[in-house]
Each structure stands twice: as structure tokens, then as C-alpha cells.
Structure 1
Amino acid sequence: MCPRCKSRLWDAPVIRPVRRGIGLGVDDIIKPKREEMAEALARHKARNPKVFGSIARGEATKNSDLDLLVEFDARASAFDQTALINDLEDVFGRRVDIAEPGGLHWLIRPQILFEAVSV
């Protein structure tokens, strides 16, 4: 049951196997710019980045966005979160979505944490 909405549509999340595709992946997109990403994360009080979504699965195209799980320091503000997104979009030249593990909906959290790749 969903603790927020009390929905009983799904009693337990289903974790699907992660298939590695033939598109762009972490090695192609993240690794060449890892140092720039690390600088942006440190500047905006974020740590422990993990990639999930199409890039983690190796299914990304040149138009795919970058989905990142990060943990923010307690001192981080909303400005830090927004500035981090803007900085990472400049670094990678693509749209960036950021989530914190605790902010994921209970139904999709297990799948995202299962497929997430540390960078």
C-alpha cells in the first residue's frame, strides 16, 4: 500500500531485469567528463552520483536526457540544486534531471536503485 495515497493497486514493486542496450552509455557520455561533473557536484554540495535511466542501460541516443541520483549536503539550498542542474546541462550538452533517493516514489524506487550505476 502506498504510504501517501493509500493505493492498493500494487502491493509490491516488481524489479525488472536490466538489459544493456547498444546505444550510448556511461562510458560514452559520463566518463569523458567525469572530472567536470565532480567539480560541479562539489561546488553545489552534492555527492554520491549515480546514473539511472537510458544512459545506465546503454540505450541513450544523442537526444536522451541524463538522469542522476545524488545526495545533497544538509547545507544545500534549492539554489544549489537548480544551479547544479544548469551546470551539468552545460557540461554534458543535454537535459539533466536530478533526484534524491529519498524523494523517489515507493513504487519506482526499487527499480531505479537496482539499475543505478555509480560514477
Structure 2
Amino acid sequence: MRTVILVCLLAVAALARPEKEYYTDKYDNIDLDEILDNRRLLIPYIKCSLDQGKCSADGREMKSHIRDAMETECSKCTKKQKKNTRKILRHLIIHEKDFWEQLKAKYDPTAKYYPTYEHAVEIDDKAFFGEA
């Protein structure tokens, strides 16, 4: 009888544990390549992130998670969000160096996190996200 009760309690405890929390995937289907390939589309997102311009709804959503995602290595990101984040970082580091420097100054002034992300430009997705 005790074993049955113990098993029931363990089952209830397992069911009561919350599922892993993720950022919303509401904006995961935007055409990221179109934005990255067109500075007219890209710059408003960057300026939003830097508090230098207005933010669209998806820009506000993205901005609200930058610090947390950076500090937790995107632990609440879906696989697609991780891949897109890496694509964005790679683009900024290679093609938008001035804005990358401003973003680093704003979100990582002590240089605690950005070296990891700059290293991301040099390695493949699987190695960067610990899937190798």
C-alpha cells in the first residue's frame, strides 16, 4: 500500500512540475533574410533595441528578451529562435559593426557575454548550441 501511495505522489509531483518556459513563437515566421538583406527594414529593429527609435510589436517583443537571452544563452529560445538569433548576431558582427558595438555597450557593458557571441561567427550552429 505504501508503494502505491509513493508512486501516486511521485506521479502527481511530476505532473505538477511546470513545462520548460519558452519565449513566444508568435513572430518566428517573419522573413528574417528579407530584413537582414534590407537596411531600410533592419535599422528600425536595431534602433528599437538601442532605444533610439520607435518599436514595432515584434521589435518590442525581441527587445524585451535581449538581456535575458544573452545572460542565459537563449535558454528560453526555441530551436528556430536560437538559429535566427545566431543568424542575426553573425550579420551584425560582420556587416553592422558600429551598431554591434552600440548593442554591446548597452546590453553587456562589462563584456561578460559578448565574447561568446562573437565566437559564434567562427563556428557552426551545432557546436555553438551544444548539439555536436
TM-score where L is the length of structure 1: 0.28
Bigger-Rg structure (1/2): 2
More strand by share: 1
